[in-house]
A and B are shown apart, each in its own frame.
Chain A
C-alpha cells in the first residue's frame, strides 16, 4: 500500500536497467519499499541493479523479462506480475530510446523504432496495467516523459514527438483516473547524465538520475500530477513555448 506521505511498498520498474529507473527505485527502497521488480529486455544486464537494491535493503528484488516492442506479450506480462507479486503500489515507466535523429529523419523504420519503443509500446503495456490497478483500487503510475515532448526541437524531434504522444496520452489517462484510486504522475526531465545521454554535450540545466529520483519522491509526497526536473524547467519551458519558431530553431537547446 501507499502511505500518507507517498511511501510505497511494491514497485515495478519497466525498463529495469534504466539509470533513472534504478536511482528512483533506490530512493524508494531507502524510504519504505520492500519489493522491487525490474522488468526489461536483458535480465542479465539488470542483475547488477538488482544487487544494488538488495544492498540498499530491499527484502525482495526480482528480475522479469519485458520487451516494450513485443506488444502481444503485454497482457500476459501484466497478469503474471500481479499473480506473482500481489498488489503493486507503484509502476515506473522508465524504458525508452533516444535513437539517432540524423538517421531517423530519413529512414522510416528507424523513426518508427523510436516511436514504437517510447510511445506505442508504452500505450500497449499501460492499458492492461492500468486496468489491473483500477481493479486493485489504488496505485500510482509514474511515467518518464521528457521536456523534448513539450516543444519539438530541430535536433531531436523524432524522439520528441514520441514523448509528446506519450505525454498527451498520460495526461488524458490521468484525468480518466480521477476517482479510481489510481494516480498518474508525469515526469519531464531535461538533460540527465545517464547511459542514454553518454557522449552527448550536456544541455543547460543538466542534472543527475539522483536528482530525478528526489524530484519523483517529492512529487509523490505532494500528490503532483506533473514534475519537472530540475524544477526551474517548468518556468523556462513556459517561456520557450511562446518563442517564435524562427528564433526557437536557432536556440542552442
Chain B
C-alpha cells in the first residue's frame, strides 16, 4: 500500500498489516522483515514517521478499546490503537478528559511515540508525562511492561521515540476530571506580535489552556497580528440551566468533507490572505467568559473531514519549531521572514511551553513554539525553511519530528543534544535494527 503522512508528501510503498492483539505484533516483529517494521496510528504525523518503504507497517488501529477505567484514581488502561476521538466520546460522559493535540484523530500509541502536546502543555505537560505505564513489543519481539519508576530509560526512550523502540500495544494514562464538556474561554485580539507575546507572558499562567493564532501574511505594522484563545474547563454552575441536566454531552460531527480531488495551487497567497483576514475580523476584539464546546475549542479542524486534501496532490508541509524563552527575537524574525516571503500559511499557531519531561527526544522545552502549514511547490521554499532551521538552531531550539518532512539530518544532533543517549537505549531495545521508518532512514536516526 502507498502510504504518506498527513501532508501527503513523499509517499512510499509498504506492506500493511492490522494486528489485533499483542501476539500478532510479537509474531510480526519476530519475522524480522527484510526492510524492517514500524507501527502506524492514524497517520496524522505530517511527514514520513509512520511509513516504512519496502518494509512492513503495522496499523495499530485494530487494537482498540478501554480495558479498564479506575474512576477513583482517574486513570484508564487503553489499547494503543484507540483514537482520542473514541476516548473522548467514551470518557467525557463519565467525567474525564485527556491531554489532546489539535485533532482527536490520533491514536494513543501515536500520541506517546510523538510525545504530543496540547494547549495545556504549560499546565499539564505532554501526553507522555501523563502515561503511568505502557506495554511495548520491542525490536526482538519481546513484550515489556515499562513505567517511569521501574524502567525510566526504556520508558522515556519510547516516549517521543517515534516508534523506533518498538510497538506500543497498551497504555495506562492519567485522565483529567471535568464537570462539563464545555470550556469557559476568553478571546483577545492583538495588533502585532510584540503585543501578542506580551499578553501571553503576562497572563498565560492564569489559564489551563492557551494558544494564539497568527496571521503570517499580515505585513508592515500588523506583522504577526493575532488572536489569543485561553480558557479552562467550565464547571456545572457556569452552564446555562438548560444545559446542566446533561453537562458532559459530547457528540461532535464534522460539518463538511473536503472533496477527494482538488488541484494543487488553490491554497495560495491570495486565497490564504482572504481567509486569514476573515478569521481575524470575525473574532471579537475582546470577549471574556464565553462558553464553547470542547470540540470547537480544541479541534476546530476536525469539523472539516480530510481538509488536508485542499492542498491538492502535491501536499504541504508543517513547520513547527520551539526556541527557549529569551529568544523571542527568533520568533519575530521567523514571522517577519514568512511574511516577507509571502509564504501562504493559513493561521500559524503560537504557544508558550512549560517545563520539558525526561524523554530525550521529546519536542517541548520551555519556550515559544510556532507551527504553520505551507503548500509544497514554490521553488524558494526549501531555502526559506533551511534558513529558518539555522535561525532556530542559533537560538538553541529544534523542530518537531512528528511534523518534519525535510530537515537536514546533520542538524538533528544539535537540535536534540541527547540523541546519542536515546540511541544507546534504542539499541538495547532493538539490537538488530528491526524497527525502521522512512523518517529514521531520512534522518539517520
A1 touches B10 (CB 8 A): yes
Query: B46: nearest residue on chain A (CB-CB)?
Result: A4
In the assembled complex, which residues on chain A have CB atoms less than 8 Å from the CB atom of B53?
Answer: 1, 87, 136-138, 181
Partner of B314, one of A137, A138, A222: A222
Cβ contacts B39-53/A at 8 Å (1 or 0 each): 000000001100011
A5 to B374, CA, bound (A): 11
Kindly count the residue-residue contacts between A and B in the assembled complex, taking CB atoms under 8 Å apart.
80
Interface of A is mostly: loop
How near does chain A come to B139, taking the closest CB pair, in angstroms? 20
Partner of A1, one of B14, B314, B408, B442: B442
B315 touches A138 (CB 8 A): no
Query: B410: nearest residue on chain A (CB-CB)?
Result: A34
In the assembled complex, which residues on chain A have CB atoms less than 8 Å from the CB atom of B381?
Answer: 5, 221
A212 to B406, CA, bound (A): 24
A181 to B14, CA, bound (A): 9
Most chain A CB inside 10 Å of its own CB: which residue of B9, B53, B314: B53
The answer, yes or no, to whether B128 is at the interface (CB within 8 Å) is no
Query: B318: nearest residue on chain A (CB-CB)?
Result: A4
In the assembled complex, which residues on chain B have CB atoms less than 8 Å from the CB atom of A194?
Answer: none
B2 touches A181 (CB 8 A): yes
A3 touches B13 (CB 8 A): no
In A102-145, the 8 Å CB interface with B consists of 134-138
Query: A2: nearest residue on chain B (CB-CB)?
Result: B10
A223 touches B438 (CB 8 A): no
B12 touches A138 (CB 8 A): yes
Partner of A4, one of B13, B54, B405: B405
In the assembled complex, which residues on chain B have CB atoms less than 8 Å from the CB atom of A6?
Answer: 382
Query: B265: nearest residue on chain A (CB-CB)?
Result: A222
The answer, yes or no, to whether A153 is at the interface (CB within 8 Å) is no
B54 touches A137 (CB 8 A): yes
In the assembled complex, which residues on chain B have CB atoms less than 8 Å from the CB atom of A9?
Answer: 442
How near does chain B come to A181, taking the closest CB pair, in angstroms? 4
Partner of A181, one of B11, B315, B317: B11
With contact pairs A180-B13, A221-B377 given, residues A1 and B48 touching in the complex (Cβ less than 8 Å): yes
In the assembled complex, which residues on chain B have CB atoms less than 8 Å from the CB atom of A70?
Answer: none
Number of interface residues of B (CB under 8 A): 31
The answer, yes or no, to whether B55 is at the interface (CB within 8 Å) is yes
Query: A9: nearest residue on chain B (CB-CB)?
Result: B442
How near does chain B come to A28, taking the closest CB pair, in angstroms? 12
How near does chain A come to B55, taking the closest CB pair, in angstroms? 7
A223 to B382, CA, bound (A): 15
A138 to B379, CA, bound (A): 22
How near does chain A come to B274, taking the closest CB pair, in angstroms? 24
The answer, yes or no, to whether B35 is at the interface (CB within 8 Å) is yes
How near does chain A come to B12, taking the closest CB pair, in angstroms? 4
A181 to B57, CA, bound (A): 15
With contact pairs A4-B406, A137-B13 given, residues A221 and B379 touching in the complex (Cβ less than 8 Å): yes
A32 to B13, CA, bound (A): 23
The answer, yes or no, to whether B7 is at the interface (CB within 8 Å) is yes
How near does chain A come to B170, taking the closest CB pair, in angstroms? 29
A5 touches B13 (CB 8 A): no
The answer, yes or no, to whether A31 is at the interface (CB within 8 Å) is yes
Query: B441: nearest residue on chain A (CB-CB)?
Result: A1
The answer, yes or no, to whether B197 is at the interface (CB within 8 Å) is no
How near does chain B come to A80, taking the closest CB pair, in angstroms? 19
With contact pairs A137-B55, A138-B54 given, residues A5 and B317 touching in the complex (Cβ less than 8 Å): yes
The answer, yes or no, to whether B376 is at the interface (CB within 8 Å) is yes
How near does chain B come to A188, taking the closest CB pair, in angstroms? 19
Most chain B CB inside 10 Å of its own CB: which residue of A32, A181, A221, A222: A181
The answer, yes or no, to whether B93 is at the interface (CB within 8 Å) is no
In the assembled complex, which residues on chain B have CB atoms less than 8 Å from the CB atom of A223?
Answer: 313-314
A181 to B55, CA, bound (A): 12
The answer, yes or no, to whether A252 is at the interface (CB within 8 Å) is no
In the assembled complex, which residues on chain A have CB atoms less than 8 Å from the CB atom of B408?
Answer: 32
In the assembled complex, which residues on chain A have CB atoms less than 8 Å from the CB atom of B11?
Answer: 138, 181
A230 to B178, CA, bound (A): 63
With contact pairs A3-B442, A4-B376, A137-B55 given, residues A179 and B10 touching in the complex (Cβ less than 8 Å): no
In the assembled complex, which residues on chain B have CB atoms less than 8 Å from the CB atom of A4?
Answer: 7, 9-10, 47-48, 315, 317, 376, 405-406
In the assembled complex, which residues on chain B have CB atoms less than 8 Å from the CB atom of A181?
Answer: 2, 11-13, 53-54
In the assembled complex, which residues on chain A have CB atoms less than 8 Å from the CB atom of B9?
Answer: 3-5
With contact pairs A135-B54, A179-B2 given, residues A7 and B314 touching in the complex (Cβ less than 8 Å): no
With contact pairs A5-B376, A181-B2 given, residues A87 and B13 touching in the complex (Cβ less than 8 Å): no
Name A residues whose Cβ lies closer than 8 Å to a Cβ of B.
1-7, 9, 31-32, 87, 134-138, 179-181, 217-218, 221-223
Selected A-B contacts with CB under 8 Å, 19 pairs: A1-B441, A2-B10, A4-B7, A4-B48, A4-B315, A4-B317, A5-B381, A5-B382, A7-B382, A7-B406, A87-B441, A135-B54, A136-B54, A137-B52, A138-B10, A138-B53, A138-B438, A181-B2, A222-B377
- Minimum-distance CB pairs A-B, first 9: A137-B53, A137-B54, A4-B405, A4-B9, A181-B13, A1-B442, A138-B12, A137-B13, A138-B53
Please name 9 further chain A to chain B contacts, defined as beta carbons within 8 Å, in addition to the given A5-B381, A138-B438, A181-B11, sorted by A numbering.
A1-B441, A4-B315, A4-B376, A5-B376, A5-B385, A181-B12, A221-B379, A222-B376, A222-B377
